[in-house]
Amino acid sequence: MADSTKHDTEATDKRKEKADTLATINSRTGRNMPQAVLTGAILVVLVVACLVFERTIFVALCIAFMLLAVWELRVDFATAGIRIPTIPLWICSAGTLLLTYFYPQHVIGLGLGLLCSVVIIAVCASFQFKPHARVDGAVVAKLKDAGIDTPQDVLGGQVVHDRMTHVSVSMFSMLYLTLLPSFLVLPLTMGHPVAHGFYAVFVPALGDIGGLFIGAAFGKHKLSPRISPKKSWEGMFGSMLFCTIGALCIGLATYPFDEFAQKWWMLVIMGIMVGVTGLFGDLCASMIKRDLGLKDMGHLLKGHGGVLDRVDSIIISAPFITGLLAICHL
């Protein structure tokens, strides 16, 4: 009897120790790590399958992510009483990505989509409209999660900003979620499309992982305490290291060996560059969150805060990766 009680006590202590360890990790990383790992694994399998077997589905996946991201950004800005035209942004984002991929002159397709988007979004954002009740409900939940009482003038579509504020924020949203994601699709139209898709998606993602774990384990020197208290210089170097290793591994797995032997140093440049640009993307998202007083940019991906929290470093890095691929003929 005594042995059984001792065994139960030891098991309880071990469970408590594991729970405390996990709570410490979650606190230092700012994420629910088990959920984050599971969600990340599912996304990795999905992206790899799309890029290897049918790249058109990958384009559709990018569009789906951007549509969800527009909704999240709509709710985020609505917490401050700022309106952005959701449906026109959905149409412009989807249309620009499709033009970029399917139009024979892909860069011209991107330009045409962007030009039309600028006109459409500027006109639509200049109109006053009352937000849907679902948006108000999401705003209340978002502010409650952040520990903020909902200002009454935010709900019901009452105007708390001048018209140009709504237009300028809508234009920013269009550039953020229409122009930048187009550079995820554009590399697929160049040589080595599978490798390029892997670079665009997985190198920034590996940078996030490297920054997260190295920063949590060794981070002591804060990079920007005012914008993102959890970011550290050690995490940035960890991000650069993981990005470089990831770029080299992708190149080794997808290029003929003689081509890899000639271009490996360009992949090192890519890794270092994306380690910095990805961190910049995280800081940009953190600045938006801090200005709005929010905890997360979204809520649709378990463990990651939301779609925007997952793709911020990816879409910011995409133009730099595309430019390097084009210049170096990778």
Domain boundaries in the chain? 31-328
Q: Please, are residues 77 and 138 in contact by the beta-carbon 8 Å criterion?
A: no
Beta bridge partners of residue 228, listed in sequence order: 224
Between helices 233-254 and 193-218, what is the axis angle to 10°?
150
Pick the closest to residue 192 from 307, 12, 51, 314 (CA basis): 51
Give the pLDDT of residue 114.
95
- pLDDT of residue 33 exceeding 90, the answer is no
- pLDDT of residue 154 exceeding 60, the answer is no
Average pLDDT of span 272-290: 89
What's CA 184's distance to the chain center, in Å? 12
- pLDDT of residue 217 exceeding 80, the answer is yes
- Res. 267 pLDDT band, cuts 50 70 90: very high
Give the pLDDT of residue 12.
60
- Res. 80 pLDDT band, cuts 50 70 90: confident
Residue showing tokens 């993102």: 228
Please report how many Cα atoms fall inside a 13 Å half-sphere around the Cα of residue 70, on the Cβ side: 26
Q: How many CB atoms lie within 10 A of CB 171?
A: 16
CA-to-CA distance for 251 and 248, rounded, in angstroms? 5
Written as six digits, the tokens of 77 are: 């800005």
CA-to-CA distance for 50 and 52, rounded, in angstroms? 6
Give the pLDDT of residue 203.
94
- pLDDT of residue 142 exceeding 90, the answer is no
- Higher pLDDT: 43 or 189? It is 189
- pLDDT of residue 2 exceeding 60, the answer is no
